[in-house]
Amino acid sequence: MPGTPHLDLHADVVDLTRTLVDTESVSHHEEALADAVETALRALPHLEVVRRGHTVVARTDLGRGERVVIAGHLDTVPVNGNLPSRLEERPEAEGGDLLHGCGTCDMKGGDAVILRLAAGVPEPVRDVTYVLYEAEEVDAVHNGLRLLAESDPELLEADFAILMEPSNAAVEAGCQGTLRVEVRTTGERAHSARAWRGVNAIHGAAEVLARLTAYEPRKPVIDGLEYHEGLNAVRIRGGVAGNVVPDECVVEVNFRFAPDRSEAEAEAFVRDFFHGYDVTLTDSSPGALPGLGVPAAAAFVEAVGGQVAPKFGWTDVARFSGLGVPAVNFGPGDPMYAHKADEFVPVADLRRCEEQLVRWLTDGGEGRA
């Protein structure tokens, strides 16, 4: 376990990001970084700080008319030869300098912005709850935000939430739901030299794949945003040996559904789609509606330029939605580079996110990008 680093929350956002990145915090090993975050935040007299496990919560209590949550996770996927961080200076390149390293994009750049706000905006126009949580990159049972919602739901009460997941420093509203099912075909084993004596379950999966190939995705418009559903085979397994006709084949299917469907509605759609087959639900998470009509959300969108895109994918905004808190994704970095060996965050994204959130928290969101 690495030692506890010193975090200077008044340092430049790039330098702070580098300190966070260089403090390795692969999922389940966030203790050193959480210790550093807790120590730094407890030194700020305008914040109330609570720690649960390796999740740290810091709150203002100024009696404002609105409260917002700004959240980010501290953990990363396993290191892949991409530590320590490295700054690539590109003064002539479009987009400018890039900061490389594990977690730069997903999402220590966003964490650095959160910490800079916590230190640099002591009297925001909205009360703020800053949440830096553990274990987002692993099974949901370990997710620090989920555990916090169970143990201390009052700490997540708010009118609006921002999750600093990478979104190219632009607003991505809501998120798709996701579920996985296993579609199973059965047959009868036989020696492959006498295949006519059996029934080949893998061959029987041809109709399952044909239905998926013919699938027409639904594209509902919600709050002016067009979502795009997807139904795809993501894994297939079957077979016993090289000389045996298989008696079972399983096609694993992932359904990414728009947030106007409930989990139950999404499951019913998939079961109907595969009518006649044995379908087993193995995983499901709800989507999150955009919620852009909430005053704090509308002011935030206005403050960052008025442009909003739908989120294609699942993020923890769905957890906020489940608590009745509208939420958006807004963070530095391109999500396409999350988890990659060449992961990076543009320095311009770090500065843009910080500047726009400072504006929103200090002038009420009436400024323009």
Over residues 314-367, the pLDDT tens digits come to: 889 999 988 989 899 999 999 999 999 999 999 999 999 999 999 999 986 543
Where are the domains positioned within the chain? 13-175+288-363, 177-285
Q: What distance in Å separates the CA atoms of residue 354 and residue 123, rounded to the nearest whole number?
A: 16
What pLDDT is recorded for position 174? 87
* Helices 109-120 and 13-22: angle between axes, nearest 10 degrees: 130
- Quote the pLDDT of residue 364: 61
3 state DSSP class of 163: strand
Q: What is the pTM of this model?
A: 0.85
Give the per-residue pLDDT at 369: 35
Q: What are phi and psi for residue 318, nearest 5 degrees? A: -65, -30
> Can you point out the beta strands (E) in 23-133?
48-52, 55-59, 67-73, 86-88, 98-100, 127-133
> Residue 306: what pLDDT?
79
* Nearest partner of 316 among 300, 331, 332, judged by Cα: 331
Report the CATH number of the 177-285 domain.
3.30.70.360
Tell whether domain 13-175+288-363 is in CATH 3.40.630.10. Answer: yes
Q: State both tokens at 107.
A: 């999402």
What is the per-residue pLDDT across 261-296, written as a single tens digit (0 to 9) for each?
999 999 999 999 999 999 999 999 899 988 888 888
Contact 294, 160 (CB under 8 A): yes
For the record, the structure tokens of 172 come out as 């991505």
Q: What is the pLDDT of residues 100-120, one digit of tens each?
A: 999 999 999 999 999 999 999
One-character DSSP codes across 303-349: HTTS-EEE--S--THHHHHHTT--EEE--SS-GGGTT-TT-EEEHHH
Q: How confident is the model at residue 129 (pLDDT cuts 50, 70, 90)?
A: very high
- pLDDT value at position 302? 87
Q: Which of 75, 106, 159, 354 is catalytic?
A: 75
Strand partners, 64: none
* Per-residue buried b or exposed e for 139-178, using 16+ beta carbons within 10 Å of the residue's own CB: eeebbbbbbbbeeeeebbebbbbbbbbbbbbbbbbbbbbb
pLDDT tens readout for residues 55-69: 999 999 999 999 999
Higher-pLDDT residue of 297 and 276 is: 276
Q: CA 246 to CA 17: how far, in whole Å?
A: 53
Using CB atoms within 10 A of its CB, is residue 359 exposed (0-12), middle (13-18) or buried (19+)?
middle
Helices (H), the chain: 13-22, 31-42, 109-120, 144-151, 201-204, 206-214, 263-273, 295-303, 317-322, 347-363
CB contact set of 268 (below 8 Å; sequence gap of 6+): none
Tokens of 353: 């996110």
> What is the rounded CA–CA span in Å between residue 249 and residue 187?
9
DSSP for 265-309, please give it.
HHHHHHHHHTTTSEEEEEEEE--B---TTSHHHHHHHHHTTS-EE
Known catalytic residue: 75? yes
Mean pLDDT computed over 145-156: 96
CA dist 224 and 235 (Å) reads: 34
- What single-letter DSSP state applies at residue 141? G
Q: Is the pLDDT of residue 23 over 80?
A: yes
Q: Render the burial of 279-295: b for 16+ CB within 10 Å, e for the rest.
A: beeeebbbbbbbbbebe
Exactly one of 136, 229, 343, 354 is catalytic; which is it? 136
My answer on whether omega of the bond before 84 falls inside 30° of 0, hence cis, is: yes
